[in-house]
């Protein structure tokens, strides 16, 4: 398998640039990228989901099935191996190490090398998966709300709105400290603490009700990315603050958010590339990255950042 290694230069603050000699590149600004695409064994160059399992293998959901990267090669699964759909939107694992794959046609579980089908989600578009702190699994769907498996073969209703149809379109699930679950929907953001659900929409200060990404930073702040509006939102001390993305002149939505080991927030956008927020400014980095439409982000156990793209495969960034 060929591996393409490139070095890209991150945008640096003007003051740092002014201190460097012309043509000099500070070593701290050099970072290594490794790229993977169909030529390297990926089933598709369209990456929809990323997940790291307990064995530190990287699972990749694509529009042509599931790939697992073992560190040297890719293993591929598709409908030919038992998946109910090749469009894989979400991947997670439970406490037993069983891989769960949410697809456009239901939910699959990989048990002892064989894919099994969850009848309860027959025909459902499964958009998101979350393992809770207690080990229970939550499944988010398009139009059906979210359901929780509590050590039983049939899930229980976890979240469903009777007054907001768009709120049953689940895009993302995230558990923050201290054990609160944030549910990103097409009708706003839901915060679930025990049996209490709090709703946040544009009325409470969000730039948009179509929630696409959620994460928590090292200081406990919750960050939100949305479909419309070229901003990210930070929830701190009970209030929302909206922060503009840098140099985003076209309408672009935030696909994912991730915090690296330095505490820097990574922001993936569709058609706007990769942005970073270091607590002071948002900047657009990696101007020569091969794809400006970034679909998903993952920080692995070693601190590498994996970047899934819409049409150029997968990339790994080593700080």
Count other Cβ atoms within 10 Å, centred on residue 34.
16
- The pLDDT of residue 30 is 54
In a domain, 32, yes or no: no
pLDDT in tens, 9-56: 444 333 333 333 333 333 344 569 999 999 999 999 999 999 999 999
What are 203's two structure tokens? Answer: 């009325």
pLDDT of residue 231: 87
288 pLDDT tier (thresholds 50, 70, 90): confident
Q: How confident is the model at residue 5 (pLDDT cuts 50, 70, 90)?
A: low
* Average of per-residue pLDDT across 66-91: 97
Q: 290 pLDDT exceeds 80?
A: yes
Asked whether residue 35 is assigned to any structural domain, the reply reads: no
The mean-pLDDT minimum among 50-54, 94-98, 272-276 falls in 272-276
Q: Is 113 contained in some domain?
A: yes
The verdict on residue 38 lying in a domain is no
Q: Report the pLDDT value the prediction gives residue 272, as an integer from 0 to 100.
A: 86
What is the rounded average pLDDT of the residues 195-205?
Answer: 96
In a domain, residue 25? The reply is no
CATH code (residue 233): 2.130.10.10
Q: 177 lies in which domain range?
A: 4-18+44-318
pLDDT (tens digit per residue) in 113-133: 999 999 999 999 999 999 999
Number of domains comprising the chain: 1
For residue 29, is it within any domain?
no
Q: Does the pLDDT at position 180 exceed 90?
A: yes
pLDDT tops 60 at residue 202: yes
Contact 158, 152 (CB under 8 A): no
Averaged pLDDT for residues 104-116: 98
pLDDT for residue 83: 98
pLDDT at position 230 = 78
Domain for residue 102, yes or no? Answer: yes
Here the contacts of 224-229 (C-beta below 8 Å, separation 24 or greater) are 224/184, 224/189, 224/257, 225/253, 225/254, 225/255, 225/256, 225/257, 225/267, 226/253, 226/254, 227/253, 227/254, 228/253
pLDDT tens by residue, 212-262: 999 999 999 999 999 986 789 999 989 999 998 866 555 578 999 999 999
Average pLDDT over residues 151-171: 96
The answer to whether residue 28 is domain-embedded is no
* Of 178 and 192, more confident: 192
Q: What is the pLDDT of residue 282?
A: 87
Residue holding tokens 């960034």? Answer: 317
């Amino acid at each position: 398998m060929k591996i393409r290694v490139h070095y890209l230069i991150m945008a640096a603050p003007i003051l740092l640039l002014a201190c460097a000699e012309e043509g000099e590149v500070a070593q701290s600004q050099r970072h290594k990228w490794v790229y993977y695409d169909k030529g390297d064994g990926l089933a598709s160059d369209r990456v929809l989901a990323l997940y790291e399992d307990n064995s530190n293998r990287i699972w990749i959901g694509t529009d042509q099935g599931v790939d697992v990267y073992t560190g040297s090669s890719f293993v591929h699964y598709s409908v030919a191996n038992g998946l109910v759909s090749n469009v894989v939107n979400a991947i997670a694992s439970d406490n037993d190490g069983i891989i769960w794959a949410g697809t456009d046609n239901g939910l699959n579980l990989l048990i002892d090398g064989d894919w099994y089908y969850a009848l309860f989600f027959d025909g459902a578009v499964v958009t998101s998966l979350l393992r809770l702190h207690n080990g229970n699994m939550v499944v988010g769907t398009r139009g059906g709300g979210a359901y929780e498996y509590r050590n039983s073969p049939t899930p229980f209703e976890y979240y469903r709105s009777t007054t907001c149809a768009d709120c049953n379109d689940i895009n993302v699930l995230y558990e923050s400290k201290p054990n609160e679950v944030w549910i990103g929907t097409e009708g706003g953001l839901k915060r679930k603490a025990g049996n209490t659900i709090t709703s946040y929409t544009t009325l409470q200060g969000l730039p948009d009700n179509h929630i696409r990404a959620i994460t928590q930073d090292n200081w406990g702040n919750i960050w939100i990315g949305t479909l419309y509006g070229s901003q990210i939102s930070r929830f701190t001390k009970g209030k929302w603050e909206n922060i503009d993305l840098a140099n985003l002149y076209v309408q672009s939505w935030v696909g994912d958010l991730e915090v690296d080991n330095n505490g820097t927030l990574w922001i993936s956008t569709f058609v706007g590339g990769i942005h970073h927020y270091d607590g002071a400014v948002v900047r657009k980095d990696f101007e020569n990255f091969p794809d400006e439409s970034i679909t998903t982000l993952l920080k692995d156990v070693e601190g590498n950042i994996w970047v899934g793209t819409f049409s150029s495969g997968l990339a790994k960034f080593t700080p």
